[in-house]
Structures are given as C-alpha cells and as structure tokens.
With several copies, the nearest count.
Chain A
Amino acid sequence: MKAKLKAECSKEKLKYIRGFVKESIEILEATDLEKEQIVLAIDEVCANAIIHGNQTNDTKQIILEIDVTETSLKVDISDIGLYDPEELAGRNKDIADIVKDKQKGGMGLKLVYSIMDNVEYYIKNNMSICSLTKVLK
C-alpha cells in the first residue's frame, strides 16, 4: 500500500502524523514495539522538517510518502528547507557529552539511524528529501 500525507508545518500536527503513520504501517509484520519505534523514527524526521526545514511556518507543508508491504517499508519525508546533508552530522556526538553540555536537542537523528536500516538525504525538485527504509527479516 502507498500512503501520502501533506501536513502544515506546525508542531501540533505531529500527533496526527504519528496516528496516520501508525495506521499506514499496520500491515507490517513486526512486533508492536518495532512498529512504535518506526513511528518514532518518522516522527523525528517530520519534527526536523517542520522545525529546522520550515521554521514551524504553518503556511508551509511537509510531505510524507509511505510505501509499505508486509515485510518492507520506505518512507520519504520532503520539506522545502534546502540544507546540506553534511551538516546533519551532529548525530555522532557522544551521549555523555550531550548531557554534560545540557543540550535539549541532537538526539533525534541518533534514534532515526538506530531504528531504520537505511537513511538517505537528497535534494529533488527543490525539495529536501529524507528517505528511510527498513526490511523485516
């Protein structure tokens, strides 16, 4: 099945997006915990697209495209903020240093990379796209 969602860039929309994702990946043959983690990974990328990619400007939209079968998942999240994927490298910072530096952020991409099999960033049609994939064993 293929599911697509366009949502305004406001943080309040995140909970609806999660509900939408939860239902869209329902056919995946994964445990509830695995599905919850996948919802989390997608939530993190959407939050980044809304907050960093579009500065929570709710006249802007993010686009979520989900392609799911019983055993595989591909999700593309697009936002109009054109950023350099190289700058997302913050995810390698040590967790103990994040605590020491009293950071509130910088943990989202760590989760995304841990939960998904593959994470790719690229630019197409003037949109920044984050493409997530996972194949169930």
Chain B
Amino acid sequence: MEIFKQKQGDSLLISVEGELDASSSIDMDKAIEATINEGIYKLLINCEKLSYISSAGVGVFVSYVEDIKNKNGKIVFYKMQANVLSVLQILGLDKILSIAETEEEAKLILNEG
C-alpha cells in the first residue's frame, strides 16, 4: 500500500493505493494520526486505486470519526471500487461514513454545514 498526501487549504487529500489490510493499516493509522496532530480535521480520501480493504483498514478510519467530528471536521471518501464499497455496506458503514462518487462531490460534502 502507498499513501500520497497533498495539502489543500485547511484540508488534506490522502490518496491510498493498493491493499489496506491488517499489515499495511498501521501506516495508514500513522498518517491519519499525524494529520490530526497537525490540527487538520478535514480529510478527503481518494480511493480510486485502493484495490482491497479488510476490517483492520476500515478500523483505522472508524477510530478517528468521533475525534474528527468533535473538532467540527469531516472525513470524506470518494471513487471507491465496488469491492471496497461492499465491505462498508456489509458493515452498515455506508450510512455512517461520508462516501462520494467524484472529487467535486467529496469537496462539496467536506465544506458543507
């Protein structure tokens, strides 16, 4: 798995490529923790090249949802592949997490209300 970060104003765009499993999720956890420690609470996650996610990968994102919400931030995913989306759907997380189709839509959701 590879993580690419790009600062955009007060938000951070994270592009994740490859497979996010029990092994690689540790790096993703560090990446998000570092972002929050920098005081950034608006996260866009580009999932276009994320080919696989297991519960450990999902868990990383889930564990920061509350903290981010408490800081009036948001975490928005977009361009998810069908298999990755299906994992969130099975868990019922598609109704709890913010999931957009395109980058534009994701940015709208990130900056609304």
Contacts and interface: CB of A to CB of B under 8 A. Distances in A.
A110 B91 contact: yes
Contacts of B22: 11, 14, 43, 47, 50-51
B59 to A, nearest CB: 4
Interface stretch (A65-73, A76-84, A92-100, A129-137): A92-100
B86 A104 contact: no
B59 A104 contact: yes
Q: DSSP majority for the B interface?
A: helix
Nearest to A110: B91
Size bracket of the A interface: 20 to 34
B63 interface: yes
Interface string A104-129: 11111011001100000000000000
Q: DSSP majority for the A interface?
A: helix
B86 A99 contact: no
A15 B59 contact: no
A98 B62 contact: yes
A36 B83 contact: yes
B21 A47 contact: yes
Given A104-B60, A105-B55, 6 more contacts: A14-B23, A36-B86, A40-B54, A47-B22, A107-B55, A111-B91
